[in-house]
Structure 1
Amino acid sequence: MADWQSLDPEAAREAEKYENPIPSRELILQHLAERGSPASREQLVEEFGLTTEDQFEALRRRLGAMERDAQLIYTRRGTYAPVDKLDLILGRISGHRDGFGFLVPDDGSDDLFMSPAQMRLVFDGDRALARVSGLDRRGRREGVIVEVISRAHESIVGRYFEESGIGFVVPDNPKIQQEVLVTPGRNNGAKIGQFVEVKITHWPTPRFQPQGDVIEVVGNYMAPGMEIDVALRTYDIPHVWPEAVLKEAAKLKPEVEEKDKEHRVDLRHLPFVTIDGEDARDFDDAVYCEAKPGKLRLFSGGWKLYVAIADVS
């Protein structure tokens, strides 16, 4: 196929962008589909008739980009195959606190159930390719991980523990059930029970747990405000603000001004009691009840119930 330019629907685009153009992604996918079997990079070089070192390197980079974008998969035999010809499903991993999870397909089809064994290979939020392996006991499609396309977390926040001299981190995110082993000598001085951030250095495999280095000791478990610091890191919540925003926030006064009370009923003098559970993240719902005087001495006037819901909506 030395005259691949005449067959490439994007040949003009490639010639405009590159001094030594190579086959476009579209032509590579078309060629592999018509070929009927996966091909190695060397085979593609020969079949497309590429001759220069620049073209060899450009093809290597293009195949790598197509693999990264889940257009191709690199097989164990060192060959490339189109993902859409292998009945593979691309999607995002959604973990569950009980250890199992799902692959949520990009194409909007039904989720694939992932067993706890499969979930030990990935973290919540990862993008992966999977194939349907059958149906589970509830009749749901069940899948197995073929390849992890991209990782959602470079680091994990959790509590540091040790057992038999081996350090490990238990993630705070309940959707991540794998403990991360800490590389010996890389606990950054963390003490047992403290919250830490561990950078992943070795991703999980069928035989090994994830491993990493502690890059920051966040603080003690019961320290005031610790749950906020942990949540910011665990869920990647933006917490660094532009200077203009900080200046605007600094203008706000800590006390309620008289003008803010207009058209509002002030109930701050009443001893409200929260109705939120003791494990609630915030306490913004409360009640207060008081007896109403009756017109007759022997009869109660009933009760008046105040319900305060601090809901911004």
Structure 2
Amino acid sequence: MPRRAPPLKGFGVRSRAPLGKKSALHRIAATAEPGVMPTLEKLREFIQAAGQRVGKTEIAAHFGLNSDQRIELRGMLRELTESGHATPIGRKGLIAHDRLPDMAVVEMTGTDPDGDPIARPVQWDKANGPPPIIYMHREAAGQPALAPGQRVLARLKFIGIGRYEGRTFKRLHSTAPTRILGVFEDGRITPTDRRQKADWRVPANEVNGARPGDIVLAEPLPSGHGLGARPARIIERIGKMGEARAVSLICIHAHGIPDVFPEEALEEAEAAKGVTKRGREDLRAIPLVTIDGEDARDFDDAVWAEPSEGGWRCLVAIADVAHYVKPDSALDREAWARGNSVYFPDRVVPMLPEALSNGWCSLRPKEDRGCLFVEMNFDKSGTKTSHRFGRGIMKSAARLTYEQVQEARDAGSVPDGVPDDLITHLYGAFDALLADRARRGTLDLDLPERRVLLDAKGQVQGVVPRTRLDSHKLIEEFMVAANVCAAEELERLSQPCMYRVHDRPSDEKLEGLRQFLQSLDLNLPARDRLHPRDFGGILERVKDRPEERLVNEAVLRGQSQAAYDPENIGHFGLALSRYAHFTSPIRRYADLLVHRALIRGLNLSKGEGGLTDAETARFPDTAEHITSTERRAAAAEREAVDRYLAAFMATRVGELFEARISGVTRFGLFVTVEENGASGIVPLASLPDDRWTLDEAGRGLSGRNTGLTFSLGQAVEVRLAEATPRTGGMVFAIMQGDPSAVAPRGARSRAGGKRLSKSPARRPSERSSRRQ
């Protein structure tokens, strides 16, 4: 797969206006009166002529405005963005943007979290920043769904900065995707993406050695406009459908995740050597320990604690990746392109080659390793009193699992190689940090992750909720504390920081969530007075109630997505005013940048491996890129679990399951199985024959003749009708109102259409605080 390099130097805020724009800027400058507030048209002309990202400071300086006039300027710039004539770039930048026409050709790019199609304009100048997102209305009844790669002529409606609504006016013939990922069988390719409905045939001379059952990549061939399957050429054989590694292979290629390292990067990794004590603080006498999952393959953080003057002294040591991955090296360029590691049930696609991720940058027990560390002091209530960063050499005393640490706490047993009092001290510090978290009032959702159980051959044995222990929370609190210290230290040093930001919920999401909660007699304050503890109060009120899981999921969907940004807006979910990722540079590029900034700001090891000016200049572009790769990874990981779950459920077609309704649409219901979180559709056509009405809020279907009502969160019994591992899709039939429904012996029949109580179901959560 071709390697993508970081953006070229000069693409950031310091880039100069293109030569063709200079005359326009001079013309505007000549007509501008210093100290006189420009008109909206003059502002628009200036931003257009700049041809680059500009901020309020540059605009004020250009027009000679004073501090008192900046308040009015801020309002005018807001008016430009709200009208769609300028687009925000980063937190403080603007770039000129003419609104899209009322009708334009758009290309489908995928779906949003609610399953609705999204698109981008085909004609878009990349110099204007990222293209706007177009939220397409679903197709009319009888029309196939819009698949990624399809192009349509759409009517567009501006709905906000960088956002449009679209309705299909006409489907275009050039709807073929640029490539097809599917299973080759009987001379045809069946796409692995269930949103792609096209059928593809492979001419005999274009098979390229593929065999029946192979997972293949193909590209469309030119064809006439006749009916039937369209021709395609197989360009790559990826694997075999049904094999243990097929699921992750499909997800890797479907999302375009780089999984082959360039030879130059591998050579740099293989040439790496261990660190020496020179220029480092010696921590080898301190019994730091790593605590990870039983199936963890790399260990990049270690912890230690002891009582200190009525409080706690804690140490968090992180692998010194910056020592090995130097700016603009082959390793650095590849790490930038990947952005992060991607974790599947059967494999990891690492950000760094194994020689580093599982070797010199893994804090293996009893081996010397380089590290960056933060020493933190807390009082007994968990309030931080001081912190100190350094570059050290350490030796992990033991590699512990969460289960071992929990057992040591509960049973008093101490794992081999661990000092007798270390576990007690770690939990003592953890209790203090928990007290501080409670005072802040953070957002804590109860949505357990799903764990796929594989046998020795890689076949699915089951999908179960991932156990969440206090030992997990202990590590999360230590990591959050270290991350906060990193952000604070970089601000103190006046160094650039790649913040981890989480905005308040948008007005649109908050209004939808508020309406849903009001239907359950639950209320939220206005957005400007909203605090994470308000959500905590809601979740506490529904604890142990039938609708608990449903409310947790609704609150999750109502949140903004966390992102990376060089401009700080705080982290709403954690109730923190500043936050950065520092604790996982093996698997996140953002953390590596924070390490480099600390090395430069503190002149650690004479600044070797520190942040460069070129990297600083492209921080906005890097932030956008690594936010995108993180979301790509999350989508691929979720999809892999769904496909594994479909493979597991395929052996249980025809069985009955307790479930709940997790979605209501005009074309059917979505249900989630209580047992393992499997989700699928109940097509409208499979419901009892009736005239079904969708309520205005989209939370219920009512049958005019049968009197049946199916509502969001309702407990139901369903029969699995179909499970397709190739796509991860599942189809269910609902038993309520089905006179032919007969429960198996020992199962309780729920036919008859009575409205049932709501009950919780499991759904994968966002990453834990260790990943926030």
Q: Under a length normalisation based on structure 1, what TM-score does the superposition of the two structures give? A: 0.46
Higher helix share: 2
Q: TM-score, normalised by structure 2?
A: 0.21
Ranked by relative contact order (alpha carbons within 8 Å, sequence separation 6 or more), the top structure is: 2
Larger Rg: 1
